[in-house]
Structure formats: C-alpha cells, structure tokens
Amino acid sequence: MINKNLVQKTFVLTVLTIFAGSCIIPSTVGIIKNTNIESNLKSGCYIQELIDNASAGDTIYVPSGIYYENIVINKSISLIGEDKNTTIIDGGGTDDVIHLTADWVNISGFTIQNSGQESFTGGIRMSSNHNTIIGNILSNNNYGISLFNSDYTTIKDNLIKDNIIWNNNKSGIITHSYSNDNTIDSNNITNNENHGIRIPGNDNTISSNNISNNGQTGIYLAYSSNTISDNIISNNDEHGIQFYRANYNTIEGNNILNNSVGLYISGSDFNIITSNSISLNFRGIEIRDLYVGWGKYDDSKRNKCFRNNIISNNENAYFVYSNILRGNTWRYNYWDRPQLLPKFIFGEMGSNTWFNVDLRPALNPYDIGGGV
C-alpha cells in the first residue's frame, strides 16, 4: 500500500521543482519539521498560517520571497528563512512585523522591514523570554527590535546576535525598565535615526557589537545597571555612551572614537570605566551633575575611571560640578603621552574653575582590543 505521507511529500516536491524551473519561488510554501513528523503545508498567503498549523517545538523553514504580513508567534517554535537577503517579511507600515508572545522562539534568516510607527512597535517586538534572534536584517522599522510588554512584566534571557540593524526610524534596539539579563552580542547597529541601543533595565550584557553612525547616541543608558564590553562605538552624532541616572554600570574594553562626546555621564553614580580606548572624540569623557530645577542638581558621584587610553581627543576630559568632592576617581589612565606628574582634569563649578586629578597616570598606553 502506498504511504499517504510519502505521496503528499512527493507532490509538494514536484510543485516546488516546477516553480524553481520557472524561476518562481512561491511565497506560500513552507516546511514544518520536528523530531517526530515532517509535513508540508501550503499557506493561503501567509507565514502566519504555517505558524497556526505548527506545534510547540516545530521548525518552520520559509523559502525566499517577499511576505507582506504582520506575524504573531504565540508558541515555542523556530522560524528559519532561506536567506536573510532574499527572505523578506514586510509589515506594510502597520503594527509590529513580528511580535513574540511565547517563550523559547528562535528567528533567523530574514529581512524584517516596514513596521508601523506607533509607540514601541518594531521589526521584532519581544514580550516574552528565552528567545534567540540571530542572523537577520532589520531595517526601515520604527524600532529595529523592541523589548516591551504592555503589562510591565519582566522580559529576560533573550539573545540578540549577529544581526544587521540599520536605518530604523528611531533606535536600533530599545528595552524598557523591566528588561533584565538579556544579551546583545556581535550585531552591526548603524545609521539609526536616534540611538543605536536605548536600554533601561538591569544586568543586560552588550558586547562585541559595531555601533556606529547613529543620529544621536551609540548606547543610551537610563535608570539601569549593565555591562558594556568589547564594542566599537564610533561616529555617532552626539555621544558614544550616555548615562542618564544610570548607576553601577561596567564599561570595559570598548573602542570609543569619533563621537561628539565619547562618554557622557549625568546624574549617575558608582560606574566603573576601565580598559577602554577613548580617542578622536571632540570631548573624550564628560561628567556632570544633572540639573533638576530650582537650583538643585542630582550629583554624579563615585564613578571610577582607570586604566583607559584617553588620547587624541580635542579635549580629553571635562566635568561640570562633578568635582573632586564628589568622590569621582581617576587612576592609571594614559593621557596622550607619558606623564611622571599627576594629570589635572579641569572643569567648572558655577563660574569657578575646579579640578579633578589622576594622581598616577600611566607611562605607556595599554593594549586594548577594543571590540569586534
């Protein structure tokens, strides 16, 4: 007796062969696989129908083509495009292109473009945990990737890796204050209108990314405590990294160059800045108290800046109100050239000139890898 499943598979393969021979790849054919079954489905028009017919744990393989739709993934599946350059999901300028509401979703191999412009909409919006977004192109969206849940529950343990996130209308990646323990690694985040990454939230790791040519800031940290390491952060119009009331961050091993201000720290405390190369910026590091009105300021205090190469900036370091009395410390930094004597760092306290001091500047530059 002829196996019915075998007949179905043979028919679908024949259809695909006919299309391929005609140089036409139908955008309505996908394959769902898991460890137990293999079935071929023809969608009426959309990837969404394939998702609706899948079960948790399945993998959906999507052939090259342009898919005009907005997708909701509400089950734990893998969605794999044939080629990130030719497998395109276009949101048509409305809503999120892909919205993840289930945990343990994997997405790779797509160009994801043209989301709506409302609120936190994006090429991909994640409202769930333990997802991996690897090897995609996200462009011409409101946000490239948005980690946002309308009920303000925690979004955690997501991995965003090896993506090209560029030319989005706001930021490349945005999180909200309940986004914790996520990893953003080895992405190219460039030419976004606002920030490369805007990240409230805690204990996130941002490492080995190229973050460049964004319209405002490379990485904007607000009300957050995170680890920023081994990135190249360059040619952003305003700041390489901006701290806004962001405490207990570690900034280590980055190459921060050709920004207006390399590191801009306002109203932020207890941050550690170490082993970075900060060069060719208009101003290398700026630390200032944050004016909150009525003659009052939020101090920037007890930040530590040590063992960095701070070289060839128009002005290497400056401060506003955050003087030596705030407990900000500078140690063992290399300042343009070997220095046997302490390095004075001048700034302003109202109409008066004050100073901080690096008591023990380095005699030689450090060997800093500085990113990807």
Q: What is the pairing mode between strands 98-100 and 71-73? A: parallel
Helix, coil or strand: residue 67: strand
* For residue 336, pLDDT beyond 90: yes
Contacts 24+ apart (CB under 8 A), 88-96: 88/112, 88/113, 89/47, 89/113, 90/66, 90/114, 91/115, 91/116, 91/123, 91/141, 92/68, 93/117, 94/70, 95/70, 95/121, 96/70, 96/121, 96/122, 96/123, 96/124, 96/125, 96/146
- Give me the pLDDT at residue 65, please: 94
Q: Summarize the confidence of residues 212-227 as an average pLDDT.
A: 96
- Give me the pLDDT at residue 120, please: 87
Distance CA 361, CA 296 (A): 33
Q: Architecture of 58-358 per CATH?
A: 3 Solenoid (2.160)
Distance CA 80, CA 84 (A): 9
Distance CA 308, CA 312 (A): 13
Lowest-pLDDT range of 60-69, 174-183, 270-279, 294-303: 294-303
- Give me the pLDDT at residue 54, please: 96
What residues does 278 pair with on adjacent strands? Answer: 256, 310
* For residue 340, pLDDT beyond 80: yes
Measured between its terminal Cα atoms, the distance across the chain in Å is 58
Burial class (CB in 10 A: 0-12, 13-18, 19+), 240: buried
Instruction: Tell me which DSSP letter residue 341 carries.
Output: S
Mean pLDDT for all residues in the chain: 86
Distance CA 164, CA 143 (A): 13
Residue bearing tokens 């393969």: 13
Distance CA 245, CA 223 (A): 5
Q: What confidence tier does 139 reach under pLDDT thresholds 50, 70, 90?
A: very high
Residue 274 contacts residue 252 (beta carbons within 8 Å): yes
Distance CA 331, CA 110 (A): 46
Lowest-pLDDT range of 54-63, 255-264, 275-284, 295-304: 295-304
Q: What confidence tier does 290 reach under pLDDT thresholds 50, 70, 90?
A: confident
What is the Cβ-side half-sphere exposure of residue 308, based on CA atoms within 13 angstroms?
29
| 73 closest CA partner among 40, 42, 50, 45 | 50
What residues does 233 pair with on adjacent strands? Answer: 211, 256
- Give me the pLDDT at residue 372, please: 53
pLDDT in tens, 59-88: 999 999 999 999 999 999 999 999 999 999
- Give me the pLDDT at residue 30, please: 64
Domain spans of the chain?
58-358
Q: What confidence tier does 14 reach under pLDDT thresholds 50, 70, 90?
A: very low
Helix, coil or strand: residue 120: coil
* For residue 177, pLDDT beyond 80: no
Q: What confidence tier does 371 reach under pLDDT thresholds 50, 70, 90?
A: low
Q: Summarize the confidence of residues 250-272 as an average pLDDT.
A: 96
* For residue 22, pLDDT beyond 60: no
- Give me the pLDDT at residue 23, please: 28
pLDDT in tens, 317-328: 998 876 666 788
- Give me the pLDDT at residue 330, please: 93
- Give me the pLDDT at residue 61, please: 96
* For residue 365, pLDDT beyond 80: yes
Distance CA 41, CA 54 (A): 10
Instruction: Tell me which DSSP letter residue 16 carries.
Output: H
- Give me the pLDDT at residue 322, please: 65
Lowest-pLDDT range of 37-51, 65-79, 277-291, 343-357: 37-51
Q: H-type helices in 61-155, by residue range?
A: none
Amino acid in the structure at residue 338: P
Query: What are the C-alpha distances in Å from 132 to residues 20, 99, 115, 273?
Result: 31, 13, 20, 29
